[in-house]
Structure 1
Amino acid sequence: MTDTDRRVSGTIHVRGEGGLGDGAWAVLLPPGRYDAERLVHHDTLELTGVDAAGAAYPTGAAPAGPAAPAGPRPGDPVAVLAEGPLRLVALGRVARPTAERREDPDDPQSDPASGPLVVAYTRRAFDEPVEAEGLTLDGPVTALPAGAYRELAERLGPPPARRPWLVSLDLPIEAETPAEAVRVFWSYVRDLGPQELPAFVSPSGDELAMQAFVLGAEANQDPEEDD
């Protein structure tokens, strides 16, 4: 029997035999990727340049024998983390790439080429990540010790209830026709995006609670309050 204790400090501590988790993995976001994932909703996380087949194992937890998994496999649970400090930002499961590549594109019988690691999100916490202190990563993809994934997931707590929101983006556009105004509008949206354009959001039926968001965070749009 393997169990996980949470110390007073919040450090993940694993007891029991065999340090390998049940096919669970920790994936560390590359620098700058956290902001990109927080700004725009994605169903999956695709990481190129990650050698998932050469996933690292924590010291003392490396599996032995031919039955040991070489890396993340479809369906394996994943904890997505960001640095500075180390914190849990999402949960997911390993998914198959949309298109399988071959080492020799002209030979369909050649061995599959190492492709991107794809993670299908099951829970996002980009707006309110939780600290993952006590967890040691040995690379961009690290096998989690037994029980560590479950302990990390418990730190997130139950997901908040979903509710309807009204989101709007109003831009004053000068144009000769309504159709041209719409085209200019979408050009602004494409070129400026969430980094510069404020989006206004309010609970459905409570427009007085409207808030402006820029860069994924609440932003004051009243210049008089800045003075």
Structure 2
Amino acid sequence: MAGMTEIDLADPGRLTVPGADRAWAVLISADRYEAERLVQHDTLELTGLETDRRPSPGDPVAVVVDGEPAYLVALGRVESGVGVERDPDDPDPDEDVTPLVVAYTRRLLDEPLPVDGLVFHDSLTPLTADRWRALADRLGPPPPRRTWLVSLDLPIEAASPAEAVRIFWSYVRELGPRELPAYVSPSGDELAMQAYVLGAEANQDPEEDD
């Protein structure tokens, strides 16, 4: 990431961040980012972080996707890894390593923000208090929540309704959000229904593809 101001990792100090002594940025791969977009997780669990410095519980964390440019995709706070179910999407699971567990406080998975001024020598780097605040301020207030209708329709051949339901869930478990289109619309406006695959809007009209 040429042209970026390098952060001095030798002495990050104890930063004046409300509610914590230090702030951090963690770098995830594009593949992990895609996995996080597919299924809603309360936490981000990571192992294989090649750094001697480890955040403490309560430390704020900015989650950044590697790339040119890099993108901010979430904010969170460090939790203890004890008793947390291991994430199958973790690219480097290791039973002998204590994972870094980040509880999401704000997600930008669908509208990531480009960031500059960050240089990662490892997958984890400390942030100054001013840098953390600058990233958090860019998000603004969280968008209002509303009710959505989400459906998944599959034609199933079966001898009974109960068998059809079992086959349906087998398909859902086997194919999942990477292959099955889910249909979503605002509650009360079903005509605005859109199909989503891989966490993004997907055209399901073959005539429009011709």
TM-score range, shorter chain: 0.7 to 0.9
User: Across the two proteins, how many residue pairs are aligned to each other?
Assistant: 186
Could you say which residue in structure 2 is the equivalent of 1:190? 173
The CA distance in 2 between the partners of 1:157 and 1:195, in whole Å, is: 31
CA contact (8 A) 1:46 1:116 kept: yes
For each residue in 1:127-179, what CA deviation from the matched residue of structure 2 results, as whole angstroms up to 9, or x when unmatched?
00001112222211111122111111111222110000000000000000111
4+ runs deviating over 6 angstroms: 11-14
What are the within-5 Å matches in structure 2 for residues 31-50 of structure 1?
Answer: 31-50=30-49
The CA distance in 2 between the partners of 1:32 and 1:117, in whole Å, is: 18
In the alignment, structure 1 segments of 5+ residues that lack a partner are: 1-10, 56-70, 101-112
CA positional deviation for 1:50: 2.0
CA positional deviation for 1:192: 0.6
- TM-score, reference length from structure 1: 0.77
The CA distance in 2 between the partners of 1:193 and 1:160, in whole Å, is: 28
Could you say which residue in structure 2 is the equivalent of 1:106? none
1:93 paired to 2:92: no
In the alignment, structure 2 segments of 5+ residues that lack a partner are: 16-20, 85-95
CA 1:24/1:187 → structure 2, altered by over 3 Å: closer, same or farther? same
CA positional deviation for 1:49: 1.8
The CA distance in 1 between the partners of 2:172 and 2:125, in whole Å, is: 38
CA contact (8 A) 2:50 2:122 kept: no
The CA distance in 1 between the partners of 2:12 and 2:98, in whole Å, is: 28
Report the residue type matching 2:118 in the other structure: L
For each residue in 1:61-112, what CA deviation from the matched residue of structure 2 results, as whole angstroms up to 9, or x when unmatched?
xxxxxxxxxx200000000000112110000000011339xxxxxxxxxxxx
CA 1:74/1:51 → structure 2, altered by over 3 Å: closer, same or farther? farther
Identity %: 66
Could you say which residue in structure 2 is the equivalent of 1:104? none
- TM-score, reference length from structure 2: 0.83
CA contact (8 A) 2:63 2:72 kept: yes
The CA distance in 1 between the partners of 2:133 and 2:120, in whole Å, is: 17
**3-state DSSP class of the match of 2:37?**
helix
Report the residue type matching 2:133 in the other structure: R
Larger radius of gyration: 1
Could you say which residue in structure 1 is the equivalent of 2:183? 200
CA 1:129/1:31 → structure 2, altered by over 3 Å: closer, same or farther? closer
CA positional deviation for 1:30: 3.4
CA contact (8 A) 1:27 1:78 kept: yes
CA 1:86/1:155 → structure 2, altered by over 3 Å: closer, same or farther? same
